[in-house]
Amino acid sequence: MARAHIEQAKKNQKDPSTAHKNNKSSMVHYFLTSDLPESERDTNRLGREIMLVLGAGTATTTRALNIATYYIVTNPAIEGRLRREVAEAMSGYPERVPKWSELERVPFLTACIKEALRLVSFSLF
């Protein structure tokens, strides 16, 4: 999939009639329009670069979710409080999925997320 995206971006860049049809930008478009030497714009190299970025983003998010889940489920007081505070925002689920802005207004959920991120940042060093 990444290879196909890279090749399509290269084709679009060469064809002025399609170059600006899609206003969405991506890392590939950034690399292709940057001052990287041509040798650094090889499809395989760009594919590896994309996989590194995706892997890095996935690993840190996974780690934060693992830490949050562990501390929430191993502490009944934290789990209970979180369930009580999230219950209102989740009252219509699954028929109605709450908006992110609604979940942001749940103070203890926000605190749990921030604490998980804080703990992840300590575990990286």
pTM over 0.75: no
pLDDT tens digits, 18-40: 545 555 667 888 888 889 898 88
DSSP 11-60: HHHH-TTTTTT-----HHHHHHHSS--GGGG-HHHHHHHHHHHHHHHHHH
pLDDT tens digits, 91-108: 999 999 999 999 999 999
Which one has a higher pLDDT value, 70 or 53?
A: 70
Q: Residue 110: is its pLDDT beyond 90?
A: yes
Where in the chain are the domains?
1-41, 56-125
